[in-house]
Structure 1
Amino acid sequence: MDIPRIIQEQKQYFLSGETKPLSFRIHQLTKLKQAIQKYEHEILFALKKDLNKSEKDAYMTEIGVLLEEISFMIKHAKSWVKPERVKTPVTHFGSKSVIYKEPYGTVLIIAPWNYPFQLAISPLIGAIIAGNTAVIKPSELTPTVSKLLKRIVDETFPPTYITVVEGAVETSQALLKENFDYIFFTGSVPVGRIVMEAAAQNLTPVTLELGGKSPVIVDETANLDLAARRIVWGKFLNAGQTCIAPDYLFVHEKVKQPLLDKISDYIEKFYGKNPLENDDYTRIVSKRHFDRLVSFLSNGSVVIGGTYNEETLTIAPTILDHISWDDAVMEDEIFGPILPVLTFQQIDECIEAIRNRPKPLALYTFTANEAIQQRIIHETSFGGGAMNDTILHIATPYLPFGGVGNSGIGSYHGKKSFDTFTHHKSVLHQTTKFDLPVRYPDFKDGLKWIKRLMK
């Protein structure tokens, strides 16, 4: 595949101006929505084949959320694309200030394997509504979805506008050598560093959606039944292969055992007595990832789950107790169906532990104490999160989603997706009817007048 030629043709197409009219952008999003609906069953089949995702989970997290996002974009885009008139200071008397919304150009979207369809298309929606052309690099670890994604895009758009480039690491490396106008990457922290380093060679702006060890805190005032239900759902959705899944549990020592009992009940209710025999239980994406996760099962003590099947690459929802920060499971993001448990007596212990480690992508707190909620929000730094829930903050187009520090750079969803793929170009329109002479070097007592104006 001639990658330089693909990018050059996309840049030429962008310079033609065809992608800029709002009517064109909305038409393309409408076509994309229709294509997703047309291929719904094939998408569900591909996700089942690559990850064994259930039809319900696959639709909810990979299809429905995209259809909702497209509808939101189409509804609101008209107000976003308009030039924005802003105030002008008295020092600029006679002029007006305007912010113009300009697409970057040709963007690269590198998608991960855990939500391989949704996380390829979701940033594409933002790129389209902002007026860009796009190259999508799907993950080679989900080959069925990758091939289907290419088929859908090829049937819906000309390659000079949007195209899918399949391949392994070498393909990603080749793409990163090219001079894109914007790069959007979703994946791990180590690869995110590589992407940012490559982007720096061309001073290309980036959005990095990464991950990290996202805590869930449960204090002694929490509704334990509700907390257990929502934690089990958020943690074991997609077999824990979710960048914003609760990575470890901080629970007040007074309610630890009652909470774990309820977690055990909900695991059985959601996945059966033997989750490994559940036909709808998501598998681990590869043998390498599976082996890494299995190695964590020797940390601490298994109090729930702990079983696994190497043939099907499945690991039962597992809770690890008697864990310390020195255990291997606490070093990096787990990204699997294993939840380590730590206890605390005072909320200060949780805050201090979180602040002393890389900033997480998400944070969840279950408490009936409003003061505790406010302390967590204002005394810890994290990408986003929820109070008395998990995961759902990612599913509203009114909240931007993104990380901070090690967990990412930039954000998207809803209007923020439009803003991410848009250059906000500032222009001062100056009058020619008169000219204030105070700025010129020959103006008598110029400094005195400038000091009066600029204060």
Structure 2
Amino acid sequence: MTTVAPPTTTFDSLNPATGEVVGTHPIHDAEHVRAVVGRARTEAAWWESLGFRGRKERLVLWQKHVVRHMDQLTDVVHRENGKPHGDAALEITLAVDHLHWAATHAEKVLRRRSVAPGLLMANQAASVAYRPLGVIGVIGPWNYPVFTPMGSIAYALAAGNAVVFKPSEHTPGVGEWLARSFLEAIGRPVLQVVTGYAETGNALCTAGVGKLAFTGSPATARRVMAACAETLTPVLMEAGGKDAMIVDEDADVAAAADAAIWGAASNAGQTCAGVERVYVHERVYDAFLDELTATAKTLRAEPGGQLGPITMPSQIDIIKRHIDDALARGGRAVVGGPDSVGERFVQPTVLVDVPDDSTAITEETFGPTVTVTKVRDMDEAVAKANGTDYGLGSTVFGKARAVETAERLRAGMTAINGILSFAGVPALPFGGVGESGFGRIHGPDGLKEFTYAHAIARQRFKSKLPMTSFRRTEKDEQRAGKLVNAIYGRGNKA
């Protein structure tokens, strides 16, 4: 087994609400990361040898271990990320549900299955199975430090891979807790963690993992892809969003407004698939805005409040810049505004009359702000919702045209008359298009994402048309031509 030397430098994780030190963690260098990946290869061979049922048994043991010690993990998330305990517990609950789904569905999705060989290859028995890639590298975010990376970790493990997880430098204790809990439950380090800054993440990209799953900004995603390209390491990218909600004239306005403020302000607005733009039919615009502003005014971002702090300090300037740009371009703040942006906390802000070219509309804000725009009809709403390079999540509230409207949106996921419901359904894939990335976690697609397809064609009997042999005759070729014409050419006209 590979010996992993201890690192020589450390860094502190801080409570974003107070600035107090939560914990001290090692900065792992490239040599250490390579050693961890080497050890993971050994663990991957053992893990794969267990088969689907052996892995399922162990993943369920881990699932139960996490549930039994959920209060511990909730507290770590609260202290490192800053979100309220209730929100942290909800995040962990969803992650446990996904872990259970992946563990119990992997065999059905990935096991070898027969496929039809086609008429020309009728002498073949054809089958396909999905086999693990070996070691999966996961670079996780700080905003949902359990739920988001577990969308890769749980599915990669269920598919038969070992995992090396590099958590955000803002939430390293969460990553260490997950790896430690796995070891306590299973007794083997099939899930390992490395901590540090960008250099540690870059080392994981180039350490020879079978695939790298990343969640973060589009700018960082490009750097990760460039690093992985050096070793032709495939990548899965979830790179943020500027998600829209559409509210039709026949929508339940109160429910839509409640969902909009939750999507915009929960987790202090630090949700990649949250709501940052709302397009409301002109016939219900005023009623919707009244409901939205009434609720927004009751929310407070403060210690012990409904909203926690902004976890990453540099995001404060981005939020302020977007609010200032919206107001400078003629927009109005009906709730909050520039004064809502504090040193650590940002109060909910609702912006209206914001032009389409404002950064509050075009760039990801990642704060508890939302723009509300009046539209004539659903055609205009869809056009504006799709008018972005992002394409992660989306939401539609309405009745008669809700499904039709949802199907017209350029997005990886859509919730109808609910908020973020697609993320909570384990069988549904999660991921985006465009600047929001590519690849999918969750569901059957998420399991297959961490595998490669292995096809087998087995000859059952000799073909009467030996087309793949130098013994093939001109007569064989003529017969093959006649067969193709008989099967596929009849009724076809030039």
Q: How high is the TM-score relative to the length of structure 1?
A: 0.91
Aligned twin of 2:321:
295
Structure 1 residues 308, 356: closer, same or farther in 2, change over 3 A? closer
Q: What is the identity, as a one-letter code, of the residue corresponding to 1:39?
A: H
What is the SS of the residue equivalent to 2:120? Answer: helix
Deviations 1:12-70 (A, max 9, x none): 34345754512331133123213312331121111221233222211112x11122122
The alignment status of 1:254 with 2:280, answered yes or no, reads no
Corresponding residue for 1:451? Answer: 481
- CA distance in 1 between counterparts of 2:161 and 2:116 reads 29
Structure 2 partner of 1:357: 388
Alignment of 1:41-120 (within 5 A): 41-61=71-91, 63-120=92-149
- Corresponding residue for residue 466 of structure 2: 437
1:320, 1:281 → 2: CA distance?
A: 19
Mean Cα displacement is larger for which, 257-266 or 10-19? 10-19
- The alignment status of 1:326 with 2:352, answered yes or no, reads no
Letter in 2 for 1:90: L
Contact kept, 8 Å, 2:141 with 2:167, in 1: the verdict is: yes
Same amino acid, percent of matched pairs: 27
**1:435 shift after superposition:** 6.4
Instruction: State whether residues 398 and 415 of structure 1, in contact with CA within 8 Å, keep that contact through their aligned partners in structure 2.
Output: yes
1:285 aligns with 2:311: yes
- Structure 1 residue matching 2:365: 3-state secondary structure: coil
**What's the CA shift for 1:395?**
0.4
> Which secondary structure does the structure 1 equivalent of 2:314 belong to?
helix
Give the stretch that moved more between structures: 94-103 or 426-435.
Answer: 426-435
Query: Counterpart in 1 of 2:421?
Result: 392
Alpha-carbon distance in structure 1 between the residues aligned to 2:182 and 2:43: 17
CA distance in 2, matches of 1:87, 1:50: 52
Tell me which of 191, 211, 214 is aligned to 2:243.
214
The one-letter amino acid of 2:135's match is T
Query: Helix, strand or coil: the match of 2:309?
Result: coil
Which letter does structure 1 place at the counterpart of 2:200?
Answer: T
Q: Could you tell me whether the CA contact under 8 Å between 1:52 and 1:280 is conserved in 2? A: no
Q: 1:165 to 1:268 in 2, by over 3 A?
A: same
Asked whether the 8 Å contact 1:383–1:403 carries over to 2, the reply is: yes
Give the RMSD, CA atoms, in angstroms: 2.3
Determine if contact 2:73/2:177 at 8 Å carries over to the other structure: yes
- Residue 119 of structure 1 and its aligned partner are, at CA, apart by 1.8
Q: 1:95 to 1:223 in 2, by over 3 A?
A: same
Which residues in structure 2 correspond to 1:143-292 (within 5 Å)? 143-156=172-185, 161-268=190-297, 271=299, 274-276=300-302, 278-292=304-318
Aligned residue identity for 1:444: E
* Aligned residue type for 1:125: A
User: Are 1:276 and 1:309, in contact at CA under 8 Å, matched by a contact in 2?
Assistant: no
> Which deviates the most, 435-444 or 377-386?
435-444
- Matched residue pairs, number? 448
TM-score normalised per structure 2: 0.84
- Residue 127 of structure 1 pairs with residue 156 of structure 2: yes
Q: Is the 8 A contact 1:153 1:164 kept in 2?
A: no
**Equivalent-residue separation in structure 2 for 1:124 and 1:277 (angstroms):** 31
Q: Secondary structure at the match of 1:92?
A: coil
Corresponding letter in the other structure for 1:256: Y
Q: Distance in 2 between matches of 1:262 and 1:329?
A: 22
Q: Which amino acid aligns with 1:318?
A: T
Paired with 2:335 and 2:124, the residues of 1 have a C-alpha distance of 68
- Relative distance call for 1:19 and 1:107 in structure 2 (3 A) is farther
Shift in CA distance, 186/42, structure 1 to aligned 2, threshold 3 Å:
same
Tell me how far apart the structure 1 counterparts of residues 303 and 283 of structure 2 sit (CA, whole Å): 34
For 1:394-449, what per-residue CA distance to the aligned partner results, in whole angstroms no more than 9, with x for missing partners? 10012111112221211121322221112121110113666642443432323322
Q: Distance in 1 between matches of 2:194 and 2:290?
A: 47
Matched-pair contact (CA < 8 Å) for 2:411–2:433:
yes
Worse-matched range after superposition: 159-168 or 134-143 = 159-168
**Gaps (5+ residues) in structure 1?**
none
How far apart, in 1, do the equivalents of 2:197 and 2:333 lie? 36
- Aligned residue number for residue 304 of structure 1: 335
Q: Which residue does the alignment assign to 1:420?
A: 449
For 2:58, give the aligned amino acid: Q
Matched residue type, 2:342:
E
